[in-house]
Amino acid sequence: MGLNLSRDEVAFRCEVRAWLAANLPSELRDKVVRYQSFTRDELQRWHQILAAKGWIAPAWPREWGGTDWSVVQRYLFEEECGYAGAPQLPPFGLAMCAPVLLRFGTPAQQQRFLPRIYQGDDFWCQGYSEPGSGSDLASLRTSAVRQGDHYVVNGQKTWTTLAHMADWIFCLVRTGGGTEAKKQEGISFLLIDLATPGITVRPLTLMDGGREVNEVFFDDVAVPVEQLIHEEGRGWTVAKYLLGHERLNTARIGTCKRELERLKAFAARRRNGGRPLFDDPRFRDRLSRLEIELMALTMTNLRFIDRFRGGSAPGAEVSMLKIKGTEIQQGLTELMMQAAGPLAQGIERYVGMDDDDRLISSLAPRYCNYRKTTIYAGSNEIQRNIIAKQVLGL
């Protein structure tokens, strides 16, 4: 596709931008731009606003509430939401579990889970990483032993984002023994109700003081067999399909563009030896390099979108979006910290704070939180190995 949008696509972008300006609650947007966390009720509020408009699940088929938008329109919608400062809804149900159900689920599973995901009635989380099994996910040890009409699950998941808010978790579990050469064999994909007896969710405190990630323990947890997705022992096929969708959602181009504009405005106002920080050639050089990388990432994303027009599934090459997108996000937080200087350690909050004061008071926690972006969804080091082996054939 050309890098220029068609007239219809420009009109669509304007429609989305105008709707967001009229319907995005200001109090939710303010929490986004101030880098504040959201409660489940606040996330559900924005979810339900989008669902009422019919825009909550653009990539879903029409019969399940999808919009029938083109891949370009879906990209524009995501970019505009990020640029406007809309809350980022948890992807685990809408953008991860739902595509798996649509691709591998039975009609009964689809009827049971998809409407509740669409309406925001159920929150989901992802049970992949374990102690000692993160990037090397195939080494997972959480077991699921079949006993009649259910599986008995024992083990532990860690770094489980939003498990403390979630109703359900989709898990990779070991139902059989894999060989040393093929550890992926014997892994299955289960949907588990977090209210099931034997499940314990324990929060982990991060460097920024947040508690968005958790440990989840399974002690003789009974899971009905009808909550197995695809076939027993074929869960790795499901996991690879899901990870492609997860990595497509990590670039956050619209959000990066908004943050880049904010950084430029902030640097123009901040003083360094009596001159605007923006006049410092070293700072301006780093900022320019970051802006060029973001432009290149935008163009790369458009090339992938063109490839997906025909309905092809994301392949190993989408790891490039994950690598560059997360590195740019970290770069933006680093430059903002540099612009704030010592004040980035935090200041007292007081009545009458201006926008710069509110921003500075949130910078250090945000910087710490964004250290994780190059690790989740598969660390960037592993992504480079994937590209080397599966794309370059090295």
Q: Is residue 124 within a helix (H) or strand (E), and if so which, with residue range?
A: strand 124-127
Query: Percent of the chain at pLDDT above 90?
Result: 60
332-366 residue pLDDT tens: 999 998 888 777 765 444 334 455 556 666 788 88
End-to-end CA distance of the chain: 29
CATH number belonging to the domain at 124-236, selected among 3.30.930.10, 2.40.110.10, 3.40.50.300, 3.40.50.150: 2.40.110.10
78-101 residue pLDDT tens: 999 999 999 999 999 999 999 999
99-110 residue pLDDT tens: 999 999 999 999
How far from 36 is each of 287, 361, 362, CA to CA, in Å? 25, 11, 8
Question: What are the structure tokens assigned to 106, written together?
Answer: 């039975």
Short-list 76, 125, 69, CA closest to 96 = 125
Q: What is the mean pLDDT of residues 314-334?
A: 87
* Comparison of pLDDT for 357 and 315, the residue scoring more: 315
Compute the half-sphere exposure of residue 181: CA atoms within 13 Å on the CB side of its CA. 0
Outline which parts of the chain fall under CATH 2.40.110.10.
124-236
pLDDT at 272: 62
CATH number belonging to the domain at 250-391, selected among 1.10.287.1260, 3.50.50.60, 1.20.140.10, 1.10.3720.10: 1.20.140.10
Outline which parts of the chain fall under CATH 1.20.140.10.
250-391
Q: CA 142 to CA 172: how far, in whole Å?
A: 8
Query: Percent of the chain at pLDDT above 70?
Result: 89
Counts for the chain of helices (H) and strands (E), in that order = 13, 10
At residue 299, does pLDDT exceed 60? yes
177 neighbors 222 (Cβ within 8 angstroms): no
pLDDT at 353: 44
Q: Which of 107-116, 276-285, 294-303 has the highest mean pLDDT?
A: 107-116
Tell me which of 78, 130, 212, 246 is the catalytic residue.
Answer: 246
At residue 75, does pLDDT exceed 60? yes
Q: What is the pTM of this model?
A: 0.86
For residue 78, indicate whether it is catalytic.
no
pLDDT at 231: 95
Query: Which residues, in sequence order, are CB contacts of 113 under 8 Å at separation 6+?
Result: 97, 98, 101, 105, 122, 168, 191
At residue 246, does pLDDT exceed 80? no
Q: What is the mean pLDDT of residues 378-393?
A: 85
